[in-house]
Amino acid sequence: MDDLIRKENIQIGVDAPSWQDAVRGAGNLLLQAGSITTQYIDEMIAAVVELGPYMVLMPGFALAHAAPSAAVLRDDISLITLKTPVAFGNEENDPVKVVLCICCKDRESHRTTLQRVAMSVMEDGMIDKIAEAKSANGLLALLQNA
């Protein structure tokens, strides 16, 4: 079975003093993977500013993303855990310790992979376990066995 998320797209214990750093950290993995341009990172940050921190979907978990656009070169997903939890401004679900970052070429694409990741992440207690993962392999195992 293919890895749900490429190991290169996973990073543990990222140092992010602010939520923008957290979004950049997750975005940089996609940049390095060649899936987005730096523009997409700016778009994700602008999205939080414009639409509010509703992207903090669950306690401790933020979904960084922006609209499908030319800044997306191909569908991809990255996941980071933060060294220190960071506030995004969402009273209910702050502070964030896990950031899932997605980029889609168009609205319909790559649903199944995203769905599988979303289902795993939505399991009770999964965010806490992910935040405590000590390695990318460990984290991936958690997601794939959910």
Partner 1 sequence: MEKIKIQTVCGFGCGSSLFLRMKIEGILKANGVDATVFCGDVGTCLTNECDAIFISEELSERIKDRASVPVFAVKNFMNTAEVTEKVLSFIQDKQQ
Name the residues that contact partner 1, by CB under 8 A.
Answer: 47, 51-52, 54-55, 57-58, 63, 65-68, 92-93, 102, 104, 107, 109, 111, 114-115, 118-119, 122
- Considering the complex, what minimum distance in angstroms separates the CB of residue 8 from partner 1? 22
- Considering the complex, what minimum distance in angstroms separates the CB of residue 126 from partner 1? 11
Q: What is the 3-state secondary structure (H, E, C) of 7-47?
A: HHHEEEEECCCCHHHHHHHHHHHHHHCCCECHHHHHHHHHH
Cα–Cα distance between 82 and 130 in angstroms, integer?
A: 10
**How many Cβ atoms from other residues are within 10 Å of residue 72's Cβ?**
24
- Considering the complex, what minimum distance in angstroms separates the CB of residue 115 from partner 1? 7
Bridge partners of 77, per DSSP, are 102
Any alpha helices (H) in the chain, and if so which ranges? 19-32, 38-51, 111-121, 126-132, 136-144
Bridge partners of 78, per DSSP, are 101
Residue 122 vs 141, nearer CB to partner 1: 122
Structural contact between residues 48 and 19, judged by C-beta atoms closer than 8 angstroms? yes
Residue 68 vs 85, nearer CB to partner 1: 68
Residue 116 vs 138, nearer CB to partner 1: 116
Residue 37 vs 109, nearer CB to partner 1: 109
- Considering the complex, what minimum distance in angstroms separates the CB of residue 17 from partner 1? 25
- Considering the complex, what minimum distance in angstroms separates the CB of residue 92 from partner 1? 5
Residue 10 vs 121, nearer CB to partner 1: 121
